């Protein structure tokens, strides 16, 4: 058997394949739930109620969805150029680090001045962390997957060092924590959720416009399709790659700023909460389409929130709840393979 790229895929066929995949995931997950001794229908309904059942739960779900949306947008820019940025986790942390530096040292500035400075610092932190693998890629042809992944661990250990060392709050009673931000450094809330959701929508609109309607967006697409074609057209491929990856990392860095300012109120080594890795999944599920990222991220956030809820409601272990989520994801992501490719039998060669 061998796989070949599909050329006959239509929207209706894609919907059918995804529907079959979702149905199979629900069926297998239901069997697992029955084995655990629970009613599958009750568990699935509870997941939905746990994520969207009350205004408070919706707010929690949106709080999870915001970083997923913004991080997915950042990753999408890199993926469109076939630059496999697995380093969003580190870029979020470095964005959080730079934004926290501003918040902790200039907390007395007016909110209208301090918050924009923190956003700029967050973008610079994430962009710089993405610049490193971008330069190594264009100059030396290094593997960006490995470099970006390793930079994640460097970023985590750097924040941990600050948390236990030079930035440790003297008034923390010996606990390794960094001081909380002043009120001027905290994002305001709108409808019970920090205004990061408005920023996320603005970012989606801007990036969608740039990719679809501008010359730079066209160049990015050409480089992603064929570097040789881009060079033949007279494009500065190295500059396009570096600029785009810096923007990719910078957007991820904004997530770090929003998390420390809108959710955690301080900097911790766990501020990224795995969003950098989770967003890889939501980016692929969106088909690298900016506008699709929003509903996909909300649904994914709902699954995360709902999974946490059923742990309490049904006394299901966290590992079992994670397994349910993994089963659903396995089938949904697997369906993308059959949308992009199909399996055919290899022809047997006759021996003379």
pLDDT digits (tens, 9 = 90+) for 294-326: 999 999 899 889 888 888 888 888 888 888 878
Residue 348 is predicted with a pLDDT of: 58
Q: What is the pTM (predicted TM-score) of this model?
A: 0.90
Beta bridge partners of 178: 168
Share of the chain above pLDDT 90, in %: 64
Which phi and psi angles does 341 have, rounded to 5°?
-135, 165
Q: Within 286-350, where are the H helices? A: 290-313, 318-340
In the predicted model, is pLDDT for residue 166 greater than 80?
yes
- The percent of the chain in helix, strand and coil, each rounded to the nearest 5, is 75, 5, 25
Dihedral (CA of 173, 178, 179, 183) sign: negative
Pairing mode, strands 193-194 and 2-5:
unpaired
* Token pair for 81: 């150029």
pLDDT in tens, 247-300: 999 999 999 999 999 999 999 999 998 899 999 989 988 888 999 999 999 998
The total of other beta-carbon atoms located within 10 Å of residue 90's CB is 31
Contact indicator for 131, 249 with CB cutoff of 8 Å:
yes
Mean pLDDT of 35-52: 91
CA distance 8 to 80: 22
Q: Identify the DSSP state of 185.
A: G
In the predicted model, is pLDDT for residue 117 greater than 90?
yes
The mean-pLDDT minimum among 101-110, 154-163, 248-257, 313-322 falls in 313-322
CA distance 281 to 289: 13
- Between helices 290-313 and 196-213, what is the axis angle to 10°? 150
The mean pLDDT of the chain is 90
The mean-pLDDT minimum among 1-10, 84-93, 231-240 falls in 1-10
Residue 88 is predicted with a pLDDT of: 95
């Amino acid at each position: 058997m061998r796989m070949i790229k599909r050329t006959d895929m239509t929207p209706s066929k894609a919907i059918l394949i995804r529907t079959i995949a979702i149905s199979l995931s629900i069926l297998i997950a239901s069997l697992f739930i029955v084995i655990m001794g629970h009613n599958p229908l009750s568990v699935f309904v509870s997941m939905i109620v746990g994520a969207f059942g009350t205004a408070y739960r919706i707010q929690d779900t949106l709080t999870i969805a915001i970083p997923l949306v913004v991080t997915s947008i950042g990753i999408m820019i890199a993926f469109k150029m076939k630059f496999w940025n697995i380093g969003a986790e580190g870029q979020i942390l470095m964005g959080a680090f730079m934004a926290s530096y501003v918040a902790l040292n200039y907390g007395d500035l007016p909110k209208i001045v301090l918050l924009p400075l923190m956003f700029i610092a967050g973008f610079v932190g994430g962009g710089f962390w993405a610049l490193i693998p971008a330069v190594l890629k264009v100059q030396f042809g290094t593997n960006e997957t490995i470099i970006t992944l390793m930079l994640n661990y460097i970023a985590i250990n750097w924040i941990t060092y600050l948390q236990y060392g030079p930035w440790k709050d003297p008034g923390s009673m010996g606990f390794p924590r960094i001081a909380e931000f002043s009120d001027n450094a905290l994002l305001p809330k709108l409808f019970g959720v920090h205004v990061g959701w408005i920023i996320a929508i603005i970012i989606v609109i801007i990036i969608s416009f740039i990719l679809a309607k501008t010359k730079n967006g066209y160049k990015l697409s050409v480089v992603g399709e064929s570097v040789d074609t881009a060079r033949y057209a007279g494009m500065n491929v190295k500059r396009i790659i570096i600029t785009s990856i810096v923007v990719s990392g910078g957007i991820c860095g904004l997530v770090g700023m929003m998390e420390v300012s809108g959710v955690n109120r301080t900097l911790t080594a766990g501020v990224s909460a795995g969003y950098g890795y989770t967003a890889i999944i939501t980016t692929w599920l969106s088909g690298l389409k900016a506008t699709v990222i929003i509903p996909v991220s909300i649904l994914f956030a709902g699954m995360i929130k709902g999974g946490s809820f059923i742990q309490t409601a049904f006394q299901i272990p966290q590992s079992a709840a994670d397994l349910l989520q993994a089963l659903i994801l396995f089938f949904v992501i697997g369906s993308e393979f059959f949308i992009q490719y199909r399996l055919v039998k290899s022809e047997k060669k006759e021996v003379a």
